[in-house]
Amino acid sequence: MYSLDVNFLKDRKLEESLKATPIRKAAPISWRQQTPLFIGLGVGATLIGLTALLGTMLNLQKAKTEANIQQLDAEISQLNARNQSLQEMEAKVQAIDEEVTALVTVFNQIKPWSAILQNIRRRTPSSVQISSIEESALPATADAGSAQPKVQIKINGYARTYDDVNNFILALQNSELFNANQTRIESAKRDNFPLELEPTAKADLEKQKIQVELPQAIQYVITTELSDFPASKLLPSLARDGAVGLVTRIKTLEQKGGIQR
C-alpha cells in the first residue's frame, strides 16, 4: 500500500514568493506613435485597391479591345469581299474595253475595195487603159511596227505613151489611200495594143482583103501599197469614193468616243 507525502511548506514558500513579486501594469497605447503604422496600412490597402481596380479596368479594356478587333476583322472581311467583287467587275470591264478597242481598231483599218477601185478609176487618165487589178497581202516586217500585213495592189494595162504612164503613177502617188513611197512602175515596154475585132468585122475585112495595122502602146505594170492611215483620217476621200456607209459608222464611233481623232 502506497502513502502520499505532501510538503505543504514548500507550496507556502512559493505562494509567498509570488505575492512578494510586484506586477507591472501595461503601458498605455500611444495612438500618435501608431500613426506611421496606420499610414503604411492605408497606403498598402490603397495600393492593393488600386491594383485590383487597375486589373479590373485592364480586363474590361482588353475585352473591349478584343470586341473592337473582332468587329474590325468582320468589317475587313466584308471590305475584302467587296474589293474582290470590284476587282472582278473591273477585270470584266477591262476585258470588254479591250475587245471593243480591238474591234474598233480593226474596223478603223478597213478600206472598202469598192472605194479603192473608184479612187483608181478617178485618177486614171483617159489615154490609159487598165486590164487587171490584183490584190495580195505582204508579210509584216520586223521594223514595220505593226503585225498587220501590208496590202499590195498590182495594176496591169496599156497606155498610149510613156508620159501617160508617168502621169498615171503621179496621180496614184497623190492619193491618200496609197503609200506614195511604195507606188512605182515595175515594168513599161512598147507592145502591140491588144485589140480584138468582132467576128463579123474581121470577116468583112478578110473578105475585102483589108489589112488593119493596130497602133503600138505601152504595156505597164504598176505596184502600190495601201497607206497606213486609218479610215478615220480618210473620211473626205472615202466619201468621194462612195464609202458613205463606212464614213457614217466611223463618225458615229467618234461621237461615242470609240475612235479618237
H/E stretch holding 5:
none
Mean pLDDT of 25-43: 63
Q: What is the pLDDT of residue 51?
A: 80
Quick check: 217 and 189 in contact, CB under 8 A? Answer: no
Q: Where are the domains of the chain?
A: 37-108, 113-255
Q: Which of 112-116, 146-150, 176-180 has the lowest mean pLDDT?
A: 146-150
Provide the pLDDT for residue 210. Answer: 64
Phi, psi for residue 183 in degrees, rounded to 5: -100, 115
**pLDDT score recorded for residue 19:** 55
**The dihedral formed by the CA atoms of 185, 166, 189 and 213, expressed in degrees to the nearest 10:** 150
Share of the chain above pLDDT 90, in %: 25
Q: Using CA atoms, how far apart are residues 215 and 228, in angstroms rounded to an integer?
A: 40
Q: What is the pLDDT of residue 31?
A: 57
What's the pLDDT band for 1 if we cut at 50, 70, 90? Answer: very low
The answer, yes or no, to whether residue 105 has pLDDT greater than 80, is no
Q: Predicted confidence band at 244 (pLDDT cuts at 50, 70, 90)?
A: confident
Residues 44-59 have a mean pLDDT of 79
- In this predicted model, what pLDDT tens digit does every residue of 62-103 receive, in sequence order? 888 888 888 888 888 888 888 888 888 888 888 877 777 777
- Residue 67 has which C-alpha cell? 470586341
pLDDT of residue 72: 86
User: What is residue 158's predicted lDDT score, i.e. its pLDDT?
Assistant: 94
Residue 116 CB partners (closer than 8 Å, separation 6+): 153, 177, 226, 241
What is the arithmetic mean of pLDDT over 105-128? 87
Mean pLDDT of 52-71: 83
Q: How confident is the model at residue 111 (pLDDT cuts 50, 70, 90)?
A: confident
The structure's pTM equals 0.58
Residue 158 bridge partners (DSSP): 129, 219
Predicted confidence at residue 131, as pLDDT, reads 92
pLDDT tens digits, one per residue of 155-201: 999 999 999 999 999 999 999 899 999 999 999 999 887 766 666 76
